[in-house]
């Protein structure tokens, strides 16, 4: 049986990496998926492939750093599907710099997507879910293992991801009585374009990738599919008593720290 049958789900950052995998997995599990991203060509191609495989997906251009885009995304979803059941706040960027190296503009740009964007995505998603009555809804925020531990030369990124860990707890406290759940997924190193970009900043990218894999108890990096399956769990009814939590999907990365 499809785990997300007939659920209406928005996924931000759905045009690549973990977001792409979630869009595809949600499609397989029977959700009506709205993929939102700033990368139109890739985003549209992915939803076309989901539909060709028998799924139900649409793409909407959305820049989560712009609140008006978030509002338009929610409004379009409600007009098209009549409700919103699941929101996955996944869009994110990364800056590989220490505290003293990070400029004000770089900090503001990262926060506008990773933290401010996620905050206002959740705000407007919850407003829509309140209209569902007792059915409520599920918020899934993409955190990181770095929501729990820090890593060198990622000062702004760690700051943003740490805040998301507390955002879901706040949502859980404020809206649990409305059956709106909020949880955070905290991946370790995952084979994505974002990780590839990070490795390319290192003196020896291949060695950096190998070293990253060895940091995990499982001695490898994770796959986007492994994270996407966790998103299905948190989005669906199997996690009906799970809220305000962080699901750490890191192959044992922080267990070794």
Mind telling me the catalytic residues? 157
- 14 token code pair: 């759905």
Other C-beta atoms lying within 10 Å of the C-beta of residue 201: 12
From CA 29, how far away is CA 1, in angstroms rounded? 8
| Residue among 50, 54, 78, 31 at smallest CA distance from 235 | 31
Strand-by-strand arrangement of the 86-89 sheet: 56-61, 32-37, 8-12, 86-89, 137-142, 180-187, 245-249
3-state SS, 188-245, equals: CCECCHHHHHHHHCCCCHHHHHHHHHHCCCCCCCECHHHHHHHHHHHHCHHHCCCCCE
H/E run at residue 64: none
């Amino acid at each position: 049986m499809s785990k997300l049958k007939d659920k209406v789900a928005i996924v931000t950052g759905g045009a690549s990496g973990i977001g792409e995998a979630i869009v595809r997995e949600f499609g397989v599990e029977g959700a009506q998926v709205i993929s939102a991203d700033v990368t139109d060509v890739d985003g549209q191609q992915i939803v076309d492939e989901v539909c060709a495989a028998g799924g139900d997906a649409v793409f909407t251009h959305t820049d989560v750093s712009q609140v008006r885009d978030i509002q338009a995304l929610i409004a379009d979803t409600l007009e098209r599907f009549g409700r919103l059941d699941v929101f996955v706040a996944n869009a994110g960027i990364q800056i590989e710099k220490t505290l003293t190296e990070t400029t004000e503009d770089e900090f503001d740009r990262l926060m506008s997507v990773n933290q401010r964007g996620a905050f206002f995505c959740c705000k407007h998603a919850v407003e829509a879910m309140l209209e569902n009555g007792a059915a409520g809804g599920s918020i899934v925020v993409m955190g990181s293992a770095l929501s729990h531990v820090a890593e060198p030369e990622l000062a702004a990124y760690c700051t943003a991801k740490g805040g998301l860990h507390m955002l879901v707890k706040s949502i859980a406290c404020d809206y649990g009585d409305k059956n709106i759940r909020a949880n955070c997924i905290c991946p370790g190193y995952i084979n994505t374009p974002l990780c590839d970009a990070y490795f390319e900043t290192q003196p020896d990218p291949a060695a950096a990738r190998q070293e990253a894999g060895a940091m995990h108890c499982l001695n490898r990096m994770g796959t986007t599919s492994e994270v996407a399956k966790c998103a299905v769990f948190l989005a669906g009814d199997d996690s009906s008593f799970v809220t305000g939590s962080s699901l750490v999907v890191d192959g044992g990365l922080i267990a070794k720290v």
